[in-house]
A and B are shown apart, each in its own frame.
Chain A
Amino acid sequence: MAPLLSVQSLQVRYGPIEAVLGIDFEIKEGEIVAFLGANGAGKSSTLNALVGLVPVASGTVTFNGSDITDWPPETLAPAGMTLSPEGRHVFGTLSVSENLLMGAYSIKDKDAVNDAWERVYTLFPILHERRDQFAGTLSGGQQQMLAVGRALMSNPRLLLLDEPSLGLAPKIVGQIFDLISLLREQGVTLALVEQNVSMALNIADRGYVLSSGKIVAAGSASELSQSDALQSAYLGGE
């Protein structure tokens, strides 16, 4: 079976800065794939390029059989792929329920939107409790849940999560990881960028290790946990 997402020689540049230097990877339906590496390795640039938030300098991205390399961001949620960005980026001046409604923006069918509400409010009862509050007044953990919930509202086949545990208390981090396993059970395919390497490898099927814009190691989660590449990537070595 062809992978759900496959990426060939992806490059991302910001003016003279080369953030991603031609990487290849793939994600199969039903997998959780971790992307690991030190700060500045190019993980966010990679995910942002997949969804069109930053331009692809060269390379091709194929999702679900279509070449989506230069598709604008607004076309990807309807196609079944979305990103919960690093730093959460909830709409602080919109209420919790308005944020979720925006997540379902591309769904035209009323019943499907209602099912999405139902699912997200079941996963995160706290969001239901706070539905009329401005998102900007939520705690960091609640904002993260909202960011993930908002992404889920579009019913994605592939969900990209960029550092969902960043800056959260350990107990909340546990909740986020529980949620990720739950999503897998619901049939969502996940790409997970994490600083929390051990937790990420615990939950992931496979992983890629990035360093300075290149993939320096790849393999199953258990292979990676034993490899030296991971350690040296975090220590900043090549």
Chain B
Amino acid sequence: MDLFLQQTVNAFALGGTYALLALGLAVVFSIMGLINFAHGELMTIAGYVLMYCGLAGLPFLLSVPLAISASMVAAVLMERIAFRPVRNSSGATMLVTSFAVAMILQVLFQNLISTRSQPVLLPQLLSDSVTIGGLVIGVNKIAAIVSTLVMLVVLDRFMKHQKTGIAMRAAAEDFGVARLMGIRANTVIAGAFALSGLLAGVAAVLWVSQRASVDPLMGFMPVLKAFIAAILGGLGSLRGAVAGGFLLGFIEIYLAAFLPHEFQEFREPIGLGIVVLVLLFRPNGLIPSAALKAIKV
């Protein structure tokens, strides 16, 4: 039972990180139909900023907002430079563009920083653990869960109560009609990228906090997982992305913990098998996007 609770905490921590990443993908996808595979490189950028801040001796509490801001700025620049010119192209063109952006950034990291994994200085506190009700829980896990919850609440409030947030929901449902209301396409899209950068930055801090290192390809795996989570949840649906992220985190952690030894080798394919099974029963994902049903002008 203890082991189960312990793993449940781990699942919430990992699932929360996937949820934040999937949410970042979903925010952009819901508005411009782009699956941004370079989302992972936003994470990597935030990771490197954390590393350099550590080397420069900055306190962690200052490094974190710097890292997150860097990933937000990078996201907005990415939109301005790479995605705006292809905004009205097909989904395939935008997807290929995002792969190109991801690869260019990876090559830049490899050449300008290092091809190898670099250590990141973290405060001692993060590797401590506390005992709650007989459970030994790492501070980094608690921080991950708390940060995820805070982010989800903040984002929910933003989308429900801020005029810009409501405009983003409107644009996600029907971009043309939203523009007709005077909602500027550039504002909404830049806003979506800034939000996705914020989410990627927070996810990067959580990710690096569990591993204490950063490498040029750091963002690839988590974003691939987040992409799977976003599809599992229902592509373009924000609630779906969160649900999919958590579900994927649970599947991975429970399989790693409870799958018999002889099957551990097949953990990833079994996990993906479960995802496919869910999609067989719910082809549009756990919480399908409303825009799927919308008719276009």
Number of contact residues on B: which range applies?
20 to 34
Residue picked from B179, B180, B185, most chain A C-beta under 10 Å: B180
Q: Taking beta carbons and an 8 Å cutoff, which residues of A are in contact with B?
A: 48, 51-53, 72-78, 82-83, 85, 87, 89, 91-94, 98-99, 101-103, 105-106, 136, 150, 154
Say which residue of B169, B181, B294, B295 sits within 8 Å of A106 (CB atoms).
Answer: B181
Q: Is B79's beta carbon under 8 Å from chain A?
A: no
CB distance from B110 to the nearest CB of A (A): 40
Q: Within the assembled complex, what's the spacing in Å between the Cα atoms of A73 and B185?
A: 9
Q: Which B residues touch A52, using CB under 8 A?
A: 179
Q: Are B180 and A77 in contact (CB under 8 A)?
A: yes
Q: Which of B163, B170, B174, B180 contacts A51 (CB 8 A)?
A: B180
A89 adjacent to B297 (CB under 8 Å): yes
Q: Is B177 positioned at the interface, with any CB of A under 8 Å from its CB?
A: yes
B181 touching A154, Cβ below 8 Å: yes
Chain B residue with Cβ nearest A101: B166
Least CB distance, A106 to chain B, in whole angstroms: 3
Q: Which residue of B lies closest to A98 (CB)?
A: B166
Q: Is A101 in contact with B163, judged by CB distance below 8 angstroms? A: yes
- Give chain B's interface residues, CB within 8 Å of chain A: 163, 166-167, 169-170, 173-174, 176-185, 290, 294-295, 297
Q: Could you tell me if A85 and B177 are in contact, using CB atoms closer than 8 angstroms?
A: yes
Cβ–Cβ < 8 Å partners of A105 in chain B: 163, 167, 181-183
Q: How far is the CB of A53 from chain B (nearest CB, A)?
A: 5
From B166, B169, B184, B294, name the one whose CB has the most chain A CB atoms within 10 angstroms.
B166
**With contact pairs A51-B180, A77-B180, A92-B290 given, residues A102 and B297 touching in the complex (Cβ less than 8 Å):** no
> In the complex, how many angstroms separate the beta carbon of A50 from the nearest chain B beta carbon?
11
Note all chain A residues with C-beta closer than 8 A to B295.
Answer: 87, 89
Interface pairs A-B: 5 shortest CB-CB: A106-B182, A77-B182, A73-B179, A93-B290, A105-B182
- Cα-based distance from A121 to B282 in the complex (angstroms): 40
Given A53-B297, A102-B167, CB of A92 within 8 Å of CB of B173: yes
Q: Is the CB of A102 within 8 A of B183?
A: yes
15 A–B contact pairs at CB < 8 A?
Answer: A48-B297, A52-B179, A73-B176, A74-B180, A74-B184, A75-B182, A76-B180, A85-B177, A89-B295, A91-B174, A98-B170, A99-B170, A101-B163, A102-B166, A102-B167
Q: Indicate the member of A73, A87, A136 with the most B CB atoms within 10 Å.
A: A73
Bound complex: CA A136 to CA B291 (Å): 12
Taking CB as reference atom, which chain A residue is nearest B296? A89
Docked complex Cα distance between A90 and B266 (Å): 48
A166 to chain B, nearest CB (A): 13
Shortest C-beta distance, A236 to chain B (Å), equals 25
In the bound complex, residues from chain A placing their C-beta under 8 Å from that of B167 are 102, 105
When C-beta atoms are compared, the residue in chain A nearest to B291 turns out to be A93
| Minimum distance in angstroms from B136 CB to a CB of chain A | 43
CB-based contact B179/A93 at 8 Å: no
User: Is A82 a contact partner of B173 (Cβ separation < 8 A)?
Assistant: no
Say yes or no: B170 contacts A83, CB within 8 Å: no
Q: Kindly state the separation between the CA atoms of A125 and B294 in the bound complex, as whole angstroms.
A: 27
CB of B231 to closest CB in A, whole Å: 20
Task: List 17 additional contacts besides A74-B184, A89-B174, A106-B181; criterion CB under 8 Å.
Answer: A52-B179, A53-B176, A72-B179, A73-B180, A74-B183, A76-B182, A89-B177, A91-B174, A92-B294, A94-B169, A99-B170, A102-B166, A102-B183, A105-B163, A105-B182, A136-B290, A154-B182
